[in-house]
A = this chain, B = another copy of it.
C-alpha cells in the first residue's frame, strides 16, 4: 500500500487515535485491491470475514428479499463499511458491489476484533462510529416513514445541493435508477416526482438540477435537522 493511502486511512476518525503499533498491525494484514465496476464484493448472509475501507471509487450497499432488491446506502472514499457485522462476528446484512472502478482495503475481521480487544482507544473510536451509523439509519427510517416520495425527493435535492456547495445548479451523484431505489420508489415514479417538483422551481437536465426558487422548494420540503442533517 502506498504511503499516501496509509496516511489517508490513518486519518479516519476510526483509526486516528489508536496506537501506531496496532494500526500498523491492522494494515499489515490488510489486502488492498483494485476492483472493476459492478463487482459484488460481499453477499448478505455470508460470514463477515473482512472489514472494508473504500480508498477510491464507490460502493453500493444493497439488500434483496424474495426477488426484489433495494439500495440501502452508498459508500464513498474514504470511509468504511460493515463495521457492525465485523464487530459482532455476525453475517452481513447487506450486499456490496462496486459502482465504478474502486480501490478497496480488506482487513480481516478477526484482526479488527483482536485489536478492538487490545486497544481501548480503538474501541472508543468504534463506539463513535457505530453511534453515527445508527443515528444515520434512524434518520433514514424517519424519512421513509414520515414522508411521501415527493417530499423525500425534495429533501434529497436540498441535501445534495448543500453537499455540492449550496449553488443553485448542481449535479446528482447517483444514477437515477439507483436514486429511485435509495428513495424507496421505482425509476418511473422518480421521473414523475421530478415533474411534480416543477411547480416548486425544480428543473432537471440529465443529472443537472436547477433549484429555481429556493424558498418555494424549502417551504414544500420542510427539511429538518433531525432527519436531514447527517453530521449530527
Which residue from chain B places its CB closest to the CB of A182 in the assembled complex? B145
Let me know if A93 and B63 touch, CB within 8 A.
no
Which residue from chain B places its CB closest to the CB of A71 in the assembled complex? B145
Let me know if B88 and A131 touch, CB within 8 A.
yes
In angstroms, how far is the closest chain B Cβ from the Cβ of A178? Answer: 13
CA of A137 to CA of B143, assembled, Å: 13
In angstroms, how far is the closest chain B Cβ from the Cβ of A88? Answer: 5
Indicate whether A72 reaches chain B with its CB closer than 8 angstroms: yes
**A97-105, A118-126, A208-216: which lies at the interface:** A118-126
Let me know if A227 and B65 touch, CB within 8 A.
yes
Q: What are the residues of chain B within 8 A of A132 when measuring CB–CB? A: 88
In angstroms, how far is the closest chain B Cβ from the Cβ of A222? Answer: 5
Indicate whether A44 reaches chain B with its CB closer than 8 angstroms: yes
| A140-174 interface (Cβ within 8 A of B) | 140-142, 144-147, 151
Q: What are the residues of chain B within 8 A of A93 when measuring CB–CB? A: 135, 138-139, 142, 226
CA of A93 to CA of B90, assembled, Å: 27
CA of A132 to CA of B91, assembled, Å: 12
| Residue in B63, B87, B227 whose beta carbon sits within 8 Å of that of A131 in the complex | B87
For A63, A64, A138, A151, the residue with the greatest tally of chain B CB atoms inside 10 Å of its CB is: A138
Indicate whether A205 reaches chain B with its CB closer than 8 angstroms: no
- Count of residues in A whose CB is under 8 Å from the partner chain: 50
Indicate whether A13 reaches chain B with its CB closer than 8 angstroms: no
Indicate whether A4 reaches chain B with its CB closer than 8 angstroms: no
CA of A90 to CA of B136, assembled, Å: 12
Which residue from chain B places its CB closest to the CB of A68 in the assembled complex? B146
| Residue in B45, B83, B134 whose beta carbon sits within 8 Å of that of A137 in the complex | B134
| A62-80 interface (Cβ within 8 A of B) | 63-66, 68-70, 72
Let me know if B134 and A133 touch, CB within 8 A.
yes
10 closest A-B pairs by beta carbon, nearest first, are: A120-B120, A130-B130, A84-B131, A65-B146, A134-B134, A137-B137, A70-B145, A84-B134, A87-B131, A88-B131
Identify 29 residue pairs between A and B in the complex whose beta-carbon atoms are under 8 Å apart, listed by A's number: A44-B226, A45-B226, A63-B142, A63-B226, A65-B142, A65-B147, A66-B146, A68-B146, A70-B142, A72-B141, A84-B130, A85-B135, A87-B131, A88-B128, A88-B232, A90-B135, A91-B226, A93-B135, A93-B139, A93-B142, A117-B124, A123-B124, A123-B127, A130-B130, A130-B134, A137-B138, A137-B141, A144-B145, A145-B184
